[in-house]
Amino acid sequence: DAKTTQPTSMDCAEGRAANLPCNHSTISGNEYVYWYRQIHSQGPQYIIHGLKNNETNEMASLIITEDRKSSTLILPHATLRDTAVYYCIVRGGGTSYGKLTFGQGTILTVHP
Amino acid sequence: NAGVTQTPKFQVLKTGQSMTLQCAQDMNHNSMYWYRQDPGMGLRLIYYSASEGTTDKGEVPNGYNVSRLNKREFSLRLESAAPSQTSVYFCASSAERESYEQYFGPGTRLTVT
């Protein structure tokens, strides 16, 4: 699976959009980009995933660049409860289907 | 739906003791996973089970054994605990091999002294 690079930490004001970047320059054609988050020692929570098109769900939007070498997770209106560690993960298909490789993630702190 | 449940929530062991961490899911998922998370680190996969009756090693399997007892339950056993196994252990499940979403349990906090 491709390695990802994320900033160690980011801050965001409550009510504003939080834009979390992720670089995955060695991603291959059949690898998906996933985002999970972990709120203070709880189990990780799935947020969103995508292959090459932009995706949106009730939690967030995922923007993937045309060359697929980077992506951005957008929380449109961040709240204090969005303070968490956010993990960007690239996962392939085939025999590696279940193997999520978690890096150190980005610590997002949402301020009042 | 309880989702993914894990027992116990906390455990303290002495070096050399054994124990089994239990995990169960009520979502009829085929795949189940065990991860560990050391302080300040991301999760690392210990073992996974693609379906009932099958198990495979993940990134850090040494010192652990697993049993997929049935479709619902996936247990993790430490035969002879070591201080290096002090960690938080998370169980997860997903529906099918192409499923993109893994559901995680609340974790078991294990300390080995």
Asked if A104 lies within 8 A of B42 by C-beta distance, the reply is yes
- CA-nearest residue to B30 within chain A is A98
Strand spans (E) along B1-113? 4-7, 10-13, 19-25, 31-37, 43-49, 56-57, 64-68, 74-78, 87-94, 103-104, 108-112
Residues A20 and A62: their CA atoms lie apart, in Å, by 10
Q: What is the model's pLDDT at position B100?
A: 63
Q: Is A97 on the interface with B (CB under 8 A)?
A: yes
Count residue pairs from A and B with Cβ separation < 8 A: 57
Residue bearing the bigger pLDDT, B12 or A101: B12
Q: What is the model's pLDDT at position B97?
A: 56
Residues B12 and B34: their CA atoms lie apart, in Å, by 19
For B78-90, the pLDDT digits (tens) are 999 999 999 999 9
Q: How many helices, marked H, and strands, marked E, lie in chain B? A: 0, 11
Which residues in chain A are contacts of B42 at CB distance < 8 A?
87, 101-105
First to last CA, chain A: 37
Q: What is the model's pLDDT at position A33?
A: 92
